[in-house]
Amino acid sequence: MQPTSRSIVANGLRHHLLEWDGGGRSTVLCLHGFLDLAWAFHRIAPRLAQAGFHVIAPDLRGYGRSSPPRSYPPDFYHRDATDMGMLLKALASEPAHVLGWSDGAIITVILAVNHPELVRGVVIWGGQASNLEQERAAWDRLVDTRTWPPRALERFQEAQGPANWPGILERLHAGYSAILDAGGEIIARRLGEIRCPVLIIHGEDDPIVPVAHAHTMHAAIPQSELHLWPGVGHLPHREREAEFRALVLEFLARH
């Protein structure tokens, strides 16, 4: 199933999004990490649509075709969550399931805390609710493009376009560091306010977001389930694609 592509104005910004319309079941909003765009969900989204869900995957503010360039002020995660709340209000008549990976997982958690009326259920992977000092070294490696496979770097440059490249990785690093320098808090203190069902998936060998974050969130979120994968890194949706898809579909079917 091929998606349709369109733009919509929400929170005063034009967002580009992909849609896979499976018919009558509820909406699923998919939020990408910083290394990807809406197209990151091109493998799982058609399966969700085949199960009857209406799947929406936007390019987050400033990424791809959503009004670049991308910026990282100290509150950028909360700003993105506000954007997505306004987008859901414009697109969905009922609360949505929200799936988020990496940075998208952080935005998903903030959305569930700040706008519980918009969120029916949450699936997050590779996410966190605060920044830890031990993560600085991983960020340094992540933004060092000398370590990237040539094709991965080429695709990233193409996706971001001249408004974001070069410069986006340096801005990202500065944004992450600013949060950590201010104490690292993003939304951790408010995790107990989440009232919807939450599925937390994490690779035990994640080199970017330590697995300790998954345990912390699971302990703090009342209706949460934790699924850990030994030998898996930061991309369980690709490293264990079939199992990941089955896990998500089963969770959505229950809720």
Q: Which residues are known to be catalytic? A: 102, 206, 234
> With contact defined as beta carbons under 8 Å apart, do 128 and 151 qualify?
no
> With contact defined as beta carbons under 8 Å apart, do 200 and 224 qualify?
yes
Q: In a 10 Å sphere around its CB, with 0-12 CB exposed, 13-18 middle and 19+ buried, how is residue 87 labelled? A: buried
Q: In a 10 Å sphere around its CB, with 0-12 CB exposed, 13-18 middle and 19+ buried, how is residue 183 labelled? A: exposed
**36 contact partners, CB below 8 Å, separation of at least 6:** 101
d(CA 252, CA 159) in angstroms, rounded, equals 30
Identify residue 189 by its one-letter amino acid code. R
